[in-house]
Amino acid sequence: MGRNSRLLTLVSTIGLIVGVSAYYYYQLGTEITEVQTGRVLLVDELVAKVTANGEIKPKEYVELQAEISGVITQLLVADGDLVEKGDILLRIDPTQNQSEMRAREARLQAATMESANSLAQINLQEINVGRERFNLQAAEADFSKAEQGLLLKTASFKRQQELFEQNLISRNAYEVSKGEFVGAESEVLAARARVNQAKGALSAAKVILSQTYNSLRSAESRVEQHKAIMASARDTLSKTVIRSPLTGIITQLNVEVGERAVPGTLNNPAATIMIIADLSVIEAEVEVNETDIVAIKLGQATAVRVDALPRSPLHGIVSEIGNSAITGRHSQAKEFRVSIQLKSPPAALRPGLSCTAEILTDRRSNVLTIPIQSLVIREYLIDKNGQPIKSADTRTIASDSLQEFTGVLAVTNDRVEFLPINTGIFGQTIMEVTSGLKEGMEIVTGPYKILRDLHDNDPVTVQRKNGGN
């Protein structure tokens, strides 16, 4: 009996071990994963902010550059001086420009005299045309008179010829009449020649008058040309005196007396003589990432922290939003310039100081929230209602047949369940949940590597916090 009892006990122990092992194998199936969890919380207020870096700038400032090259002979201001609009800031050596100005004046005077001479020539040629026109009229009158005389002489000669043929007059009387007729013909020919000569002289005088008018127009064009050149030379000479284009403070002075001013071309930084800024209105100019710019609106409240004034946070509002993207200073990402007008800036604030702006883009009250790191994306087949089919094994299904869902992994009875959710605004560490969850639900928050690989219905155990039981 003792031997049989021991054998029965051994068989029972082996059966118990096999049963427990089978239970854990079939019921749990996989290794239990240790996770970190959090709760779905109802908060009184959630604020969404966009953080961006930039620098302090005056709203209105001028990077003053010379428009001509030359040696600076007089500098009337110093760094930090207050200047009024129109004040003389510096003078550039005007010697070369003054010489050019005098040369242009001489050329203009010569062109003006040439124009006056052409005008005098026109007056003289108009007198000549008038005289030639009078001569033509006289020649035409003589020609008309000669023609009348020829008619009379012709009639007289014909009568004398008839009388001579009838032997009623002597040959001497006939010859006298004939001579008078021939003389009248010659007088007509001479008068016609004088008319033609007078017409030629008048035409020549008109041609000369026309040429003189052309000379006058050319002279007047040269006068206008030299006036324009003169105006340009006068403008260039005026640029040897540089005046302040606005009322403000000289925040940067880059030149000294004796240095050569270089004309500004293509925004050459070396050409900047000084920077004048109107410090009555100061802005923070920041660069906002393209993913955040759609949330930025004019008038949004902003908190600005200046690196040089860490204990004096500043406040302002968004006053300008750039329409064109720029390349970020630290990456190839696209960014947009946003200007924030500061309220009551301190006297210690200076242009060029680095700053960080927190722009308040949205505010919600009494909202459900979850930690941002708890948000996951999973792919599922969907049913006819558009809901995920969680029971399907998606590892063997083509990705183009699946649909992405945003949600969290809720912990229920030591297992995780994927719950699709709809989200709202984002805070610094938490985000709004508009549907899909209830207050107090326990959800997985990490670690990230484990959260990434967890699947629906996986067994988990909650990681104990330091100091916990």
If one counts the domains in the chain, the total is: 2
pLDDT confidence band for 3 (50 / 70 / 90): very low
Q: Is the pLDDT of residue 77 over 90?
A: yes
pLDDT at 95 exceeding the cut of 60: yes
Provide the pLDDT for residue 1: 44
Query: Domain holding 185: CATH number?
Result: 1.10.287.620
pLDDT of residue 337: 95
Q: Is there a single domain that holds both residue 36 and residue 121?
A: no
Q: Quickly count: other Cβ atoms within 10 Å of residue 46's Cβ.
A: 21
Instruction: Return the CATH number at 419.
Output: 2.40.420.20
Whether 456 is in a domain gets the answer: yes
Residue 351 lies in a domain: no
Query: What is the number of helices (H) and of strands (E) in the chain?
Result: 4, 22
Does one domain contain both 111 and 198?
Answer: yes
The whole-number pLDDT of residue 10 equals: 40
pLDDT per residue over 207-217, tens digit each?
998 998 998 89
Domain presence at residue 203: yes
Query: Which residue type is seen at 418?
Result: F
Quote the pLDDT of residue 257.
Answer: 93
Q: Are residues 38 and 152 in the same domain?
A: no
Final residue belonging to a domain, choices 189, 206, 234: 234
Q: How far apart are CA 267 and CA 133, in angstroms?
A: 68
Task: Provide the token pair at 160.
Answer: 């004398």
> What's the average model confidence in pLDDT over 340-366?
92
Give per-residue pLDDT as tens, 34-73.
999 999 999 999 999 999 999 999 989 898 988 888 999 9
Provide CB contacts within 8 A for 375, sequence distance 6+: 406, 407, 408, 423, 431
Q: What was the pLDDT predicted at 27? A: 47
The pLDDT, as a whole number, for residue 341 is 95
Question: Would you say residue 199 lies in a domain?
Answer: yes
Domain contains 247: no
* Residue at which a domain ends, from 234, 251, 280: 234
Residues 104, 221 within the same domain: yes
**Cα 447 from Cα 173, distance rounded (Å):** 154
Q: Collapse the DSSP code of 332 into the 3-class scheme (helix H, G, I; strand E, B; otherwise coil) and give the result.
A: coil
Of 186, 202, 234, the one marking the end of a domain is: 234
Mean pLDDT in residue range 156-160: 88
Residue 69 lies in a domain: no
- Domain extent, residue 428, equals 30-46+368-462
Q: Is 113 a member of any domain? A: yes
The answer to whether 58 and 281 are in contact (CB under 8 A) is yes
DSSP state of 29: -
* CA-to-CA dists, residue 345 to 110, 290, 350, angstroms: 61, 28, 10
- Do 115 and 39 share a domain, yes or no? no
Cis peptide before 313 (omega within 30 of 0): no
pLDDT of residue 326: 86
pLDDT at 397 (0 to 100): 66
Q: Do 112 and 199 reside in the same domain of the chain?
A: yes
Q: Is the pLDDT of residue 317 over 70?
A: yes
pLDDT > 80? residue 6? no
At residue 268, the 3 state secondary structure works out as coil
Higher per-residue pLDDT: 453 or 375 = 375
Note the pLDDT tens digit of each residue in 114-137.
889 988 988 998 998 899 899 989
Report the distance separating Cα 116 and Cα 405, nearest Å.
91
Question: How far, rounded to the nearest angstrom, does the alpha carbon of residue 362 sit from its chain's CA centroid?
Answer: 31
Residue 383 neighbours by CB under 8 Å, 6+ apart: 389
pLDDT value at 445 more than 90: yes
* pTM check: above 0.85: no
Most confidently modeled of 270-274, 287-291, 346-350? 287-291
Of the candidates 361, 411, 405, 352, the residue with the CA atom closest to the CA atom of residue 381: 405
Is position 225 within any domain? yes
Least confident of 285-289, 389-393, 394-398: 394-398
For residues 114 and 34, state if they share a domain. Answer: no
Confidence of residue 173 (pLDDT cuts 50, 70, 90): confident
